[in-house]
Amino acid sequence: TDLHPYEALMHIHEPGASLEDVKSLFEDIKTWLPKLLSDAITAQDVAGPIKDPQGPFPIQKQEALGREMMNVWKFDFDGGRLDVSAHPCCIGVPEDVRLTTRYSLNDFGEGLLGVIHETGHGKYEQNRPRDLLDQPVSLARSMGIHESQSLFAEMQIGRSAAFQKFLLPKAIATFGDQEAFEINNFTRYVQKVEAGPIRVDADEVSYPLHVILRFEIEFALIDGTLTVEEIPAKWNELMKCYLGLDMSGNHRQGVLQDIHWPSGAVGYFPTYTLGAIYAAQFMEAVNKELGEAEVKRLIETGDLGPILDWQKRNIWENASIYETPELVQKVTGDRKSV
């Protein structure tokens, strides 16, 4: 077969995806995203300093706020739970979905957004068609679609200006008021754009560059044009190129930060950016069906029921009934997929 070994690995996580299409997509993104990141940071600086909330934020209170947000997303705690791990994740089966996050005493946003992200995964799992659970068609369509659901929760809703109007009073009630908890500042804090070293903490603008960096390294590794010994140097080279960061010698916050390569999940990273694209398309479809003003009102009031119902009807219950391009076409009317 003419299938590249990396494409075969990618198909484990994103069935049917074209390696050439992914490479073309990433090459296009590289032509404009680094400048957009730089321009966003500059505009952010011109707008004035952002006051970061000042900790410490007790872990028990962070967990309580995270669980409150899980209830906003109507997570079924009778069929799932929340725990702590070094790396946030979602595992399990529809009847028993296990979520984890990690907490920082000085940044409650890290743990909270991790909870919201993983809850997006969890909702997909809990709402797969129960009458088909003994059939392969009941499985989640792909990790790109799975990531679209976590990023829909975290980025399209959780980091939106509308959601901060709902979240901020909850944060104040949990941690007490402070200067940084002014709505405009708090929104800027949640939406802050910066070139940081850690993928899971990255904002929506810089995140694809983290993905592209990893894609290029693992593709070269499988292609035989890069050795394992050369990975740290290549990592630092691309970090400097894409994010302007020097990670020399800092392997903990560099090449060793992810669980994917040690666990053998080569070919997974592209699904994050594919998921972000799908998530944006799905939110556009939600706005068209429910109306932008109504969606904004629902998010501002934390009444996510109608949005969740849309996801259940269009994404979760369809599981693997449709291939990804067909699912995206059916849901959005636009066959943008890879």
The conformational region for residue 92 under phi > 0 = left, psi -120 to 50 = alpha, else beta, is left
CA–CA distance, 151 with 98 (Å, rounded to integer): 18
Give the number of other CB atoms < 10 A from CB of residue 136: 8
And the tokens for 193? Answer: 């754009």
14, 63, 110, 118: the catalytic one is 118
CB-neighbour burial class of residue 34 (10 A; exposed 0-12, middle 13-18, buried 19+): middle
For residue 100, the surrounding DSSP H or E stretch is strand 96-101
Q: Which of 335, 336, 290 is nearest to 310 (CA)?
A: 290
> With contact defined as beta carbons under 8 Å apart, do 242 and 235 qualify?
no
Q: Could you give the residue ranges of the DSSP H alpha helices within the chain?
A: 5-13, 19-46, 59-72, 108-126, 143-151, 161-175, 183-190, 207-223, 231-243, 270-290, 292-301, 305-314, 324-332
Pairing of strands 80-84, 89-93: unpaired
Is 110 one of the catalytic residues? no
Q: Tokens for 49? A: 């300093």
At 104, is the secondary structure helix, strand, or coil? Answer: strand
Q: Which of 265, 277, 239 is nearest to 25 (CA)?
A: 277
Please give the positions annotated as active site.
118
